[in-house]
Amino acid sequence: MKWIIPIVLLMIVTSLGSALYYMMKDRGNSSRMVHSLMLRIGLSVALFIGILLAHYFGLIEATGIKVGTN
């Protein structure tokens, strides 16, 4: 899990960068930017669900930081 999360985050940032590149290069004449953004959303949702499942199955643990207590 220590390597999967940073790799997926890097893939998300790369997809966002490619969408920016296609937006500047194509000037709205193709749908490559939309596909890159859809891939980014899919990766983000998959990462979120993966983190939830990893926590549920005990692969990762909470840090124990108390919220709202003095």
- Would 40 be classed as within a structural domain? yes
Q: How many structural domains compose the chain?
A: 1
C-alpha 41: how far from chain center: 7
- Would 67 be classed as within a structural domain? no
- Would 31 be classed as within a structural domain? yes
- Would 64 be classed as within a structural domain? no
- One pLDDT digit (tens) per residue for the chain, 70 residues: 789 889 999 999 999 999 889 888 887 778 888 899 999 999 999 999 999 999 999 888 887 777 776 6
Measure the CA–CA gap between 12 and 9, rounded to whole angstroms: 5
Q: Under 8 Å CB-to-CB from 39, ≥6 apart: which residues?
A: 15
Give the pLDDT score at 2: 80
- Would 26 be classed as within a structural domain? yes
Compute how many other C-beta atoms are within 10 angstroms of the C-beta atom of residue 40. 19
- Would 65 be classed as within a structural domain? no
- Would 41 be classed as within a structural domain? yes
- Would 68 be classed as within a structural domain? no
Give the pLDDT score at 70: 60
Domain span holding position 29: 3-57
